[in-house]
Amino acid sequence: MLNRIVRWASEGFEYEADPRQAEKAIQELGLEKCKGVVTLAVRQSIDEVRKDAPTEQSQMTSSRAFAARCNYLSADRPDCQFSAKEICRFMAEPTNMSIEALKRLGKHLTKHPRLIYHYPFQEDTDGLYVYVDTDHAGCLRTRKSTSGERGLAGTHLLKSRSGTQPVITPSSGEAELHGVARGGVVGPGFLSLMADLGIALAMRLWTDSTASQGMCARQRLRKVRHLDVQELCVQQLIRNGGFALYKVDGEANPGHFFTKASLTARRI
């Protein structure tokens, strides 16, 4: 809880990230008086990616420091997780496009410098809900996919994450299955934590991919290729009653928040 702000209200709790981190990030970029933006990133074309080049040596150190600060802030700011993850991928060799991404994130923090979680008291928390989503081959440089997970106890957000998948998946179904496998690992950890507190919950995992549902509903590979043990263990978890897998409409899936670059203000 170091440097976080926690308030006890009459209807529950409020939780907020350290506001100084966003303030310092805005100051480092010199964006105190700029006009803020809602969307955190802009989808680049393949031609722009090919023309991208390493940035000047003088900007590399400062860009790395800003990326590290955003990575720290994103632990408490789900809206920044996808952008911070993409920026941190360029820490070894910052490019002109990564510098533009830094400025875009800074402009978003200028418009939304603070984010407050509201945790109203819940009498009946009947389950742990994990929503997953995957952007297949979203990275135009490496063609790797991005997975996002969001875990809630009732209506309370406990954990969210945006991460690049370690391998290139040949199909969207396999990419979505990798996201389901990742969500199937995050959920049981929280079930164990809640059990230590004397709270028994049933886990429900939601995905908008029909293909990944079909792969999880059966046993063995069958006609599906390129899969590893990490993904196939989900079949056994579902069969043994570790969690239930459900379908959620793509437009209503909150997992999009952690896999898409340029969501509209309405979607956010």
pLDDT in tens, 169-187: 888 888 999 899 889 888 8
Domain boundary among 73, 98, 116: 116
> Could you give the strand order of the β-sheet that contains 146-153, starting from the edge strand earlier in sequence?
156-164, 146-153, 127-135, 202-207, 244-247
Output the CA torsion sign for 32, 118, 147, 210: negative
Same structural domain, 127 and 210? yes
Same structural domain, 27 and 63? yes
Res 261: pLDDT? 66
Same structural domain, 102 and 130? no
Any idea which residue has 């809206």 for tokens?
79
Same structural domain, 237 and 126? yes
Neighbours of 144 (CB within 10 A): 18
Do the Cβ atoms of 67 and 83 come closer than 8 Å?
Answer: no
Res 39: pLDDT? 80
Res 147: pLDDT? 94
Helix (H, G, I), strand (E, B) or coil at 152: strand
When divided into structural domains, the chain yields a total of 2
Whole-angstrom distance, CA of residue 164 vs CA of residue 181: 14
Tell whether 59 is covered by a domain.
yes
38: which residues sit within 8 A by CB, 6+ positions away? 108, 111, 112, 264, 265, 268
Res 4: pLDDT? 92
Domain boundary among 116, 131, 147: 116
Res 265: pLDDT? 67
Tell whether 263 is covered by a domain.
no
> What is the token pair recorded at 158?
């406990």
Buried b (16+ CB within 10 A) or exposed e, 244-257: ebeebeeeebbbbb
Same structural domain, 96 and 126? no
Res 217: pLDDT? 84
Tell whether 264 is covered by a domain.
no
Nearest to 260 by CA among 90, 130, 85: 85
Q: Which residues of the chain have pLDDT under 70?
A: 225-226, 229-230, 261-262, 264-265
Helix (H, G, I), strand (E, B) or coil at 72: helix
CA angle 261, 263, 267 (to 5 degrees): 150
Segments forming the whole domain that contains residue 54: 5-116
23-35 confidence digits (pLDDT tens): 999 998 899 988 8
Rg, Å, the chain Cα set: 20
Domain boundary among 72, 96, 116: 116
